[in-house]
Amino acid sequence: MTFRGEDLLLSGAWILGIGSLIDTIGQTQQTFTHSDQGKDLIVKGNGIEAFGNSLQAIGRIKLFKHERELAQIYTIFGAWLEAAGNSTNAVGVSIELNGAEEEGTKIDTLGSGVQGLGAAFEAVGAFLEEDSSYRALAITGNSFISLGSFLAAIGNIYVLNEKSVIGEQILLVGSWIQVIGAFILIHAITLEVEHIEQEKHEENPKNRNGNSYPYSYNNY
């Protein structure tokens, strides 16, 4: 079975949103209990986010157009960076659960920084796109994810400096900002996919037969 680029893009966005929500639920539990409770959810959430970002990167590669080359390169590179950052977060928190808290927190901090950088690249990619109905939403969503990720890195730095209470609070705020960004991005990508479908419909004369779907059975 071959998946279309727009299907991967939209699926990846929803998976990213679900993963960020699971991660945030775990972080909320950890912050309010001042314990390791919730870290399992943080590991799972980051793993799901990494998968969602990877699907988005693959989807954008499949949809690559040379006339929008620079914007798409930024966006694809950013998505892979986010996937790497989320994977690093999952590894770091897993190490924390196994008892090496300082080492795990350092790795988690690195992962959040990489994730924030990746989302910033995606925001720049959206900025470089031509004016569209989804451009502003994509910039906003990715900017929120970037800000939330960098706040998570800052929170971990406070934890490493034995200021756990304020560190956990910053981590919680960063997590919720990422959730908001992820769901803004879902809306942006939904609009983008609708735009891609419309472009395909207009480019293929065989589709101009009044059908509401992008591909015509008259091709067969």
Q: Provide the pLDDT confidence category of residue 199 given band limits of 50, 70 and 90.
A: confident
Q: Provide the pLDDT confidence category of residue 84 given band limits of 50, 70 and 90.
A: very high
Q: 130, exposed or middle or buried, with CB in 10 Å at 0-12, 13-18, 19+?
A: exposed
Which residues are within 8 A (CB) of 28 and not within 5 positions of it... i.e. 6 or more apart?
38, 172, 175
pLDDT above 70 covers what percent of the chain? 92
The confidence score (pLDDT) of residue 7 equals 87
Higher pLDDT, residue 217 or 35: 35
Q: 210, exposed or middle or buried, with CB in 10 Å at 0-12, 13-18, 19+?
A: exposed
Cα-Cα end-to-end distance for the chain: 18
Q: Provide the pLDDT confidence category of residue 205 given band limits of 50, 70 and 90.
A: low
Measured distance CA(89)–CA(44) in Å, rounded: 10
| pTM of the predicted model as reported, rounded to 2 decimal places | 0.86
Q: Do 162 and 21 contact (CB within 8 A), yes or no?
A: no
Measured distance CA(152)–CA(171) in Å, rounded: 5
pLDDT above 90 covers what percent of the chain? 67
Using the structure block, give the residue that is written with the tokens 């983008």. 192
The confidence score (pLDDT) of residue 14 equals 96
**Helix count and strand count (H, E) for the chain:** 6, 0
Question: In the chain, helix, strand, coil percent, each to 5?
Answer: 85, 0, 15
Enter the tokens of residue 7.
């299907």
Q: For 100-155, how does the pLDDT look when each residue is reduced to its tens digit (9 = 90+)? A: 889 999 999 999 999 999 999 999 999 998 777 788 999 999 999 999 999 999 99
